[in-house]
Structure formats: C-alpha cells, structure tokens
Amino acid sequence: MNIIIENATLFLVLAGIFGLFMAWGIGANDVANAMATSVGSRALTIKQAILIAAVFEFAGAILAGGQVTKTIRKGIIDAKVLESSPELLVYGMLAALLAAGCWLLIASRKGWPVSTTHSIVGAIVGFAMVGIGIEAVSWGKVGFIVASWVVSPVLAGVIAYALFRSVQKLILDTDTPFDNAKRYVPFYIFIVGFIISLVTLVKGLKHVGLHLSTAENYFYAVIVGLVIMGFGISVIRKIKMNESLNKDFHYASVEKVFGVLMVVTACAMAFAHGSNDVANAIGPVAAIVGIVQSGGEIAQKSTLSIWVLLIGGVGIVIGLMMYGHKVMATVGNNITELTPSRGFAATLAAATTVVLASGTGLPISTTHTLVGAVLGVGLARGMAALNLTVIRNIFMSWIITLPAGAILAIIFFYVLKGIFS
C-alpha cells in the first residue's frame, strides 16, 4: 500500500505514457488492417484513408469505447488474489502495456498484421502466471476470449460471403450491372448507417449520459441510415457510364458506384474499430488509475475518466499516421485481389462483427475479423482467388503474438518489481 501512495504520481504518469505507446501500436497495426480494404480496392488513397480513420477512430474511441473496456479491465485476473498486494497488479498492467506496445512496434516495422487483443491478453496472462500465480488467472474468461478469436473470423467470413453473393446476384451477374448498381447500392448504404448507429446508440453512449428507449434507438438509427442513404444517392446520381473504361474492365463503371459505398463502410469500420480496440490500450490504464486513486484498493468497478479515453484516441491516430502504411499494404493487396464491391462486402462484414462484439463487451480481434471477412469474399470467387502463402504467413504471425506478449510482459514485470520493491 505504501509503495502505491509514495509513487502515486509516477505510476499515473507511466500509465499514461505506456497507454499512449500501446494505443500508438494499435494505430500502426490494427487500424491499418481496418482501412486496408479501402486502400487495396483503390476506393481511397492512403492519405484519404488516414484522414477518415483519424476522425472516425477517434470518435469511436471517445463515444463508444467505454463498454468493452470493462471486459479487459475486469475478469482476466481474479482481483481477490491481489487484495493484499495491489502493487503487483500495477506492475503487471504497466508491464503488459509496455510488452504489447513493443511487440506491435516490431510487427508494424515488419508489416505483419497481428492482433492487438492477442498482444495485451497474452501479456496480462503472462505476468499473472509468473508474477502472481496460475490461480490468479480466470481461465474461464480467457477461454471465452480465445473462443471469440475463432468465432469472430468465421462469423465475419460468413457475413462477407453472403454479402458478396448478394452483390453478385443482384448486380454483377445481371444484364445491366451498372443500372442495378445505382438501384441497389443505396440500400447497402442504408444498412451500413443503420447498423453502426443502432449499436452505438444501444451500447456505446450510456457513459456519456444518453439513455434512450428501444423504440427511440431504432427510430434514430433509421433516421441516420436514411440521411446517409440520401447522401449516397446524391453522389451516385452524378456517376455516368464510361464505355472506354468498360473496355478494359467490364465492371469499371459499376465499381465507381461501389466506390461511394466503400467510403461509407470505411468510415463505419474506423468507428467500429475505435469503439472496440481502444480497450486494449486503456483497459490496463483504467485499472492502474483506479488502484492509485483509491490508495491501493482494488475496486470491482471504477469510473472511466475521459482523459483515459483521450489517450487511447490520440495514440491510435498518431500510430496510424506514422506507420500504418506498412501493414495496410500487406492486408489490402496480398490476400486476394480487391475491388470496391469486394472491399465493401469485407469491410461491412467486419464492421458488423466488431460493433456487435463491442456492444456485448466481447474483446475480439479486429485483425482476425477483417482477415476472415476478406477470406469470405475470396471464397465467394473460388479458392484460386486466395493467396494461400500470404494467408499462412499471417496465421503464423498470429501464433507468435501470444507467447511474444507473455514473454516480454514477464521480463518487464520483474524489472518494474525490482525498481519499486
């Protein structure tokens, strides 16, 4: 207890710095995954993608990032085991943030699309096993999270497959694909706006004091969907058939219509990612802040300060701007060939999965979700459309992430313990 009181300010400063570093890693690695389909399909340039991500990632983190943070902060470690030595939890959470941030820095430099959720959960489990004891880890919760890493890519893949098959049936495989694109794409835009706004209203905005009834949530979600749909229609009407472009690629004019939709889904994916993955950076920070401010008491619940959310939002944006292009190239160009119509199906499927998970407090991996969605789109065109070598390398980087996070966290835990004890 005395250690926490004596070093309260230092612990808070370190939590802020390490949390910002971890959020930077999320921006450099995971946000690049989220925007890669937009860039890979050439619907957006890298500069445009970074600008959209900066705005909507930050908005998602601030407005809807409070719900899933509770899952990371509470549940993985049994707080009762640490009641007599809360300083161990402080060391461990600091070590976990630093370990996950370092691993994400290494992976981002190499262009490896790894999971930030894997990184932070692996780091927390690693320090808890060695620094506190195996009994301190809530293995049921860990199992639940691990299961979500399997469920999320499968779910996203199924949704993406179904979405792209609907695009093929309604638009691409018809006699008049351009006319049908202009007819049906506005409805897809409505779905995007409706899903994102509904989940945000239902689960995301409670911590900012907005409490609406179920009927009101659906009403406002429909309104938002219609507004976004109206914007999409106004832009789509200006797109004309270009026969010269169609000579080189039969669906060139159709893909221009889908380009408008891709911009909308990119905004949705960025918001969804900010709402879900900000927890990986600010969850441990929130735990440290709660312990320090209470003088060493490990509370079951603690309020989430707005400055903690700001650290997550700012760090994510800075990381994306500095290093995001490397991982973006891996996911956007190398798994399968993407066009705006394919990128739309993958992005909307991933965004739907992520916001549903964020609303239920399930800390899924956006990397797994998006890769699963891209695989789903590729499978809709046949196995030959997939680059199996790249997919194998991505899967290997996922396997390495868990032990890497755990080992680094153990090292940093003992260093911090040695410094302060």
Give DSSP secondary structure letters for 234-264.
Answer: HHHTT----HHHHHH-TTHHHHHHHHHHHHH
Residue 357 tokens read as: 């998970």
Alpha carbon distance 322, 329 (integer Å): 14
Report pLDDT for 347: 82
pLDDT at 304: 67
- Identify residue 113 by its one-letter amino acid code: P
Instruction: Provide, for the chain, the percentages of residues in helix, strand and coil under a 3-state DSSP scheme, each rounded to the nearest 5.
Output: 85, 0, 15
Helix (H) or strand (E) holding 93: helix 86-110
- pTM assigned to the model: 0.80
> For the chain, which residues make up each domain, given as ranges?
2-420
| Token reading at 142 | 């860990």
As a whole number of angstroms, the distance between CA 90 and CA 82 comes to: 10
Helices (H), 297-420: 306-334, 340-360, 366-380, 388-420
- In the prediction, which pLDDT does 100 show? 93
Give pLDDT, residue 201. Answer: 72
- Collapse the DSSP code of 386 into the 3-class scheme (helix H, G, I; strand E, B; otherwise coil) and give the result: strand
> In tens digits, what is the pLDDT along the chain, a chain of 421 residues?
578 878 888 999 999 999 999 999 988 888 877 788 888 888 888 888 888 888 888 887 777 666 555 545 456 776 667 677 788 888 988 999 999 999 999 988 888 888 888 888 889 889 888 887 887 787 887 787 777 777 888 889 999 999 999 998 999 888 888 889 889 989 998 988 888 777 667 655 555 566 777 788 889 889 999 999 998 899 888 888 776 655 555 577 788 888 888 888 788 778 877 776 777 788 788 888 888 887 767 655 555 677 887 888 888 888 988 888 778 877 777 777 788 888 888 888 887 887 677 666 666 777 788 888 988 888 887 777 788 888 888 888 888 888 899 999 999 999 999 988 7
DSSP state of 304: -
Residue 366 contacts by C-beta under 8 Å, 6 or more apart in sequence? Answer: 30, 33, 34, 115, 116, 117, 273, 276, 277, 350, 354
Say if residues 3 and 94 touch (Cβ distance below 8 Å): no
Residue 305, number of CB atoms within 10 A of its CB: 15
Assess contact for 204 and 63: CB atoms under 8 A.
Answer: yes
Decide: helix, strand or coil at residue 412.
helix
Q: Give the separation between CA 287 and CA 278, rounded to whole angstroms.
A: 14
Residues 6+ apart with CB under 8 A from 392: none
Inter-residue long-range contacts of 220-223, CB under 8 Å, 24+ positions, other chains counted: 221/194, 221/197, 222/194
**Contact 351/196 with Cβ under 8 angstroms?**
yes
pLDDT for 132 equals 79
